[in-house]
Amino acid sequence: EVSLLDQGSNAQQSILSLEQEIALLSQFEHENIVQYYGTDKEESKLYIFIELVTQGSLSSLYQKYKLRDSQVSAYTRQILNGLVYLHERNVVHRDIKCANILVHANGSVKLADFGLAKEVSLVSSPRLFACLQMANCLICTFF
């Protein structure tokens, strides 16, 4: 169990937002994106099941420990790897921050929290799409 939503004020909007997040997340299968396993509704509660990532967020890790340059570099590569995967599928995360990057015990990082993520198309966002293409080229040369 990862997320529990009690129905109350603004419940319909919250449920709609969660359903959109789930619809996006369920499409992804990548080593640097948290894996979605399913949902369950029980009475007035919604349960979302995702991959267990045991070390918490990059934000909490950063506050507890001084990260070495080699760790930061490894995390950055993995974050960019996940972003390239999303961009190749015309998805923009729109909320990349340390709190939304989870760290696994094996040292891998996973992008999480797709609540603000959005599918974009070349037709609706040509300038954004051009930026994503350029960013992906820069990322590829970085590796």
| Active site residue ranges | 95
Query: Which strands make up the sheet holding 45-50, listed edge to edge?
Result: 3-6, 45-50, 36-42
In whole angstroms, give the CA distance from residue 124 to residue 133: 15
Q: Are 22 and 48 in contact (CB under 8 A)?
A: yes
In whole angstroms, give the CA distance from residue 81 to residue 75: 10
Residue 34's nearest CA partner among 112, 119, 91, 113 is 112
